[in-house]
Amino acid sequence: MQSTDTSGASRTAAAYWKANLQVLFICMIIWFVVSYGLGILLVDVMNQFTIGGYKLGFWFAQQGSIYAFVALIFFYAWRMNKIDREFDLQED
């Protein structure tokens, strides 16, 4: 009778899931700070400065947050590819 060691596989799956959740948590915090913090709460503070003739708070709410979100997408893809390689789960 052969015994299968599923504890090693489950530990690897748990470690992969933990790494995945850490990346997701970091991205969600950045998303929240950018969208709610900078776009809504700190808009008056940011409006004291201008960029391209527009108040920074307005510019960031309209354009800057989009740049931050696109950067988040690239960061997430890069980091998840790195994690996939660490756990030997990369796509060919």
In the chain, % of residues over pLDDT 70: 92
Question: What residues contact residue 40 under an 8 Å CB cut-off, 6+ apart?
Answer: 61
Predicted confidence band at 1 (pLDDT cuts at 50, 70, 90)?
very low
Determine, yes or no, domain membership for 26. yes
Please work out, in degrees rounded to the nearest 5, the angle formed at the alpha carbon of residue 61 by the alpha carbons of 21 and 73: 30
Indicate the number of domains in the chain.
1
**How high does pLDDT run on average in the chain?**
89
Determine, yes or no, domain membership for 82. yes
Q: Which helix (H) or strand (E) holds 55?
A: strand 54-55
Determine, yes or no, domain membership for 3. no
Determine, yes or no, domain membership for 4. no
Torsion of CA 29, 33, 36, 42, to 10 degrees: 160
For the stretch 11-20, pLDDT in tens is 899 999 999 9
The pTM of this model reads: 0.79
- Domain assignment of residue 79, given as a range: 10-86
Determine, yes or no, domain membership for 1. no
Task: Give CA–CA dist 92/4, Å, rounded.
Answer: 28
